[in-house]
Structure 1
Amino acid sequence: MTALATTDALFFDTIDRADAERLLRRGTEGCEDGELFLEYRESEAIALDDGRIRSASYDTTRGFGLRAVAGDAAGYAHSAEISEPALARAAEAVAAVKHGHSGTLDVGPRATNARLYADANPLAGLDFAAKTALLAEIDAFARARDPRVVQVMASVTGEWQAVQILRPDGQRVADIRPLVRFNVSVVVEQDGRRETGSYGTGGRFAYDRVLGEASWKAAVEEALRQAMVNLESVPAPAGEMEVVLGNGWPGILLHEAIGHGLEGDFNRKGTSAFAGLLGQRIAAPGVTVVDDGTIPDRRGSLTVDDEGTPSARNVLIEDGILKGFLQDRQNARLMGVAPTGNGRRESHAHIPMPRMTNTVMLGGDVAPTEIIASVKRGLYAVNFGGGQVDITNGKFVFSASEAYLIEDGKIGAPVKGATLIGNGPDALTKVTMVGNDMALDPGIGTCGKQGQGVPVGVGQPTLKMAGLTVGGTAVR
């Protein structure tokens, strides 16, 4: 069954499609753009903590969002009831955005037959009892690996989202989106000291990719390894020093420090640190950054975005030169450029806006061992926890969950409490070496913007950055 046929069956049982299209046209008449976004979602989450199921939930949601775009204004109404009366009320509400405005409807997104992930519902592949039994098995396995393990937390989440997007010109686009994630954390204790390690993985596929025995055992081993490393950690030093970022998940710093600043809405409004710099050098030579929503099965990938535009591989920075921004349809029209397939929303209850998908710095030609060997004294940050960024100036603070000293070109003791402090535009100019080991994160990213969260991916090679400020707790 095609995605359109599947979604027709989900949405047009309580309203006739012709009526929905008629009301969509009524609400968007005289506007440049708009759409009816229909969504059905099944989701579940099961969490085990210390040998017991701490929480379990299952939810089904269905609803619509109707948008009318007139100039730089947008009217939006949404409802969990898909019916003619509800849609009629929504059409009347969004039409008010025109206020006498009269525009011509923009050309709709081009059609695509590309499929980046399977349609199957992951929630149907493994029943609740099997999932809880597996989480209990994971707990037992982790404890048996080392007597210092005193606590285990494991969780699985999954969802199946079906969307159909209707435009006033009669164009219809549908997408079926599976998504799963598995996380495990372990707490170890030695001589009265407790430390934690964690690992997660996921993507747009069935549960067997993350809950197969080899996969979950590898996740437990990695979480345990991190916890043991942290048991041996010493206080992190503070000061300005060379920093080497590991490959894969450390790309979250790139995502936060510069990614949001390259979204079209912030640049159109002039609030981004990168506004007005198109075509100029904003990063060191060798730095190339792409946002690629077309990678099969990845957490941040989309066959089409939430406006119906096919996702794409968009070059943002090429060899240090700013080449473009991430665009939804409204900001692209107002900036006189093409949409890039980055119009995203959390759900039918949220308006779309420019958002990242999988944001990646491409690899260079330097071996990671050569990068480490070039550092006299510095920090090697392998994994990151939380962070904060101000997109207006790019200033960031990130905490490293796994990091090591580098002394005389060799990796030394693990350190605890290290934070990286800087600003995105400045940090990009301090990249002095780019590794040949580009890797994507394991599939755990969620991005927040204006109260909306969407799944994303990050990636990068090993990088050397000169003169970053490291916050630490060691007495010098």
Structure 2
Amino acid sequence: MTGPEAVSKELAAELLERALSRGGDFADLYFEYRRTASISMEDGRVRSVGGSVDMGVGIRVVLGQAVGYAYAESLEPGAMAEAAETAARIASGSATHKAIKVRRRRAKDAYALGDTEIVDVDGKARVELLRRADRAARAASAEVVRVDASLVAVHKEILVVSSRGDMVYDFQPMCRMSVMAVARRDSRVEQGSSSGGGRMGLEYFESVSPEDHGEEATRVAVLNLDSREAPAGTMPVVLAPGDSGILLHEAVGHGLEADFNRKRTSNYTDQLGESVASELVTVVDDPALASSRGSINVDDEGVLPKNHRLIEGGILKGYLHDRISADWFKTRPSGSGRRQSFRHPPMPRMTNTFMEAGQDDPEDIIKSVDRGIYARKFSGGQVNISNGDFVFSLTEGYLIEKGKLTAPLKGVNLIGNGPEALATVSMVGHDFELSDGMWTCGKDGQSVPVGVGMPTVKLDALTVGGSKIG
């Protein structure tokens, strides 16, 4: 496959009719073509160079809440027909269908791709991007003793066809650079990292250069050489703009995915129209942010996605739906059906999830804290969807004392409950930032790229897990 015309409407209709031949309610085809190129350097030496091509089709048949799913790892008609028959046998029923007439639909373009995809860039040129990051990281401090860097680029095309007749194509480029620096002072060794990218090509490095990533990785590594043990206890926490959005994504966003609410395993089940956060909190999932890592022009069920206001002024307004959950809740699908590849069935997933900006000055937010924690960078976390309990680890955090940032901290864990934490939001800054494209979300064994964002936010009380009491 390359391009929207790679699969004929006639072939798609034939496969759909075969998939529904045993009486399923609905069927769809998910064609995918993917090229990947990757290079990694360890301590200044190229350690691995990789590339792959993957192509196939996933065929789904839905019967009520039951799903029959099969895939073919080629676009050979016989293999695809066999997959369609397998899916039909898994989800067979008594429904009858008219002949399917397929029509092509166009999706809007949320990616500002330049002339050159990184996956097509010469290997030597890609290595030079990593060497630039390496040189910058080492030049930023004599205490840096090791630098690792990697660059991954993907060219991905999808074509989704449903038994309702819609055929929608999307081209989804992706790039990500990651740099890790190790610094040593006497016997103490610390590290720092920087990552970024998005649905862009070489033009990404016009806004964020390899040198920027190298210098940022060194800044964090050297900063951590001066870090001290984090305090433990319940105290105010100020979330920095940008990366802090990952806490919102994990601790709140997953609970708003409709499959968990359909199964009644989310703490947000039956809460539509209810207050679930401070009135200062508005949470949005927007698939159309220009070139963001989580952006999509069409979801993996062929639905054109839209901006979702999930929580507005603290009130729960809606869930993220795929076709199955939308049918269950008797609403329209929201364009939130996503999957890792053609080998996986879709499920409700986030795209770019963030809290909208407020009115407070970020400096005033910090000044309002007598003693607390400033959380700037996260390494990820864990959340219990059923009750919202979470644990997150910081890679960069600071002690706030009498309204000022003082000592950098190590070993900071933030422990709490998503809805309870949002209820303690007392100040929201006007400085919204979208995190640079570095996050990947896992759910039920599937990984998809996502975007997160946040302004500066004050939580009045959160449990801090540190090693220093008091």
Amino acid at match of 2:194: Y
The AA in structure 1 aligned to 2:345 is I
1:86-140 deviations in whole A, cap 9, x for unaligned?
1221122111244434277999999444111156661454200111133223322
Which of 150, 165, 174 is 1:170 aligned to?
165
Q: Distance in 1 between matches of 2:222 and 2:370?
A: 26
The reply to whether residue 400 of structure 1 matches residue 397 of structure 2 is no
1:340 match: 334
Aligned mate of 1:67, from 60, 65, 69: 60
Q: Distance in 1 between matches of 2:143 and 2:101?
A: 62
Residues 220-239 of structure 1: pairs in structure 2 closer than 5 A: 220-239=214-233
Query: Which segments of 5 or more consecutive residues in structure 2 lack a partner in the other structure?
Result: none
- For 1:210-249, what aligned pairs fall within 5 Å after superposition? 210=205, 212=206, 215-249=209-243
Whichever residue aligns with residue 10 of structure 2, its letter is A
Deviation (angstroms), 1:219 = 1.6
Aligned pair 1:26/2:23, yes or no? no
Note closer, same or farther for the CA distance 1:71–1:104 as it changes in structure 2 (3 Å cut): farther
Count of aligned positions:
467
* Alignment of 1:43 onto 2:36: yes
* Bigger mean CA offset, 115-124 vs 75-84: 115-124
Q: Work out the CA distance in 2 between the residues paired with 1:144 and 1:100.
A: 67
Alpha-carbon distance in 2 for matches of 1:413, 1:138? 28
Closer, same or farther in 2 for the Cα pair 1:214/1:307, shift >3 Å?
A: closer
Name which of 306, 317, 326 aligns with 2:320.
Answer: 326
Quote the Cα distance in structure 2 between the aligned partners of 1:468 and 1:103. Answer: 56
Q: Secondary structure at the residue paired with 1:47?
A: strand
Q: Does 1:463 find its partner at 2:460? A: no
Q: Give the SS at the match of 2:359.
A: coil
Whether the 8 Å CA contact 1:47–1:153 is kept in 2: the answer is yes
Counterpart in 1 of 2:384? 390
Question: Any conservation in 2 of the 1:362–1:460 contact (CA below 8 Å)?
Answer: yes
Question: What is the TM-score normalised by the length of structure 2?
Answer: 0.95
Query: Of residues 124, 132, 138 in structure 2, which corresponds to 1:143?
Result: 138
* CA shift for structure 1 position 8: 2.7
Alpha-carbon contact 2:233-2:469 (below 8 Å) kept: no
The percentage of counterpart residues that share the same residue type is: 46
Q: Does the 8 Å contact 1:110/1:310 carry over to 2?
A: no
Give me the whole-angstrom Cα distance separating, in 1, the residues matched to 2:231 and 2:356: 30
SS at match of 1:96: helix
Match of 1:425 among 419, 434, 456: 419
Contact map agreement 2:104 2:166 (CA 8 A) in 1: no
Instruction: State the alpha-carbon separation in 2 of the partners of residues 466 and 108 from structure 1.
Output: 55
User: Residues 166-187 of structure 1, C-alpha deviation per residue, up to 9 Å, x if partnerless?
Assistant: 1224321101110001111111
RMSD in angstroms over aligned alpha carbons? 2.1
Deviates more, 1:243-252 or 1:103-112: 103-112
Which residue in the other structure is 2:272 paired with?
A: 278
2-side partners of 1:124 and 1:148: how far apart?
34
Give the distance between the partners of 2:244 and 2:453, measured in 1 at CA.
7
Single out whichever of 381-390 and 318-327 deviates more from structure 2: 381-390
Indicate the residue corresponding to 2:46 in structure 1: 53
Change in CA separation of 1:284 and 1:91 when aligned onto 2, cut-off 3 Å: same
The alignment's TM-score, normalised by the length of structure 1, stands at: 0.94
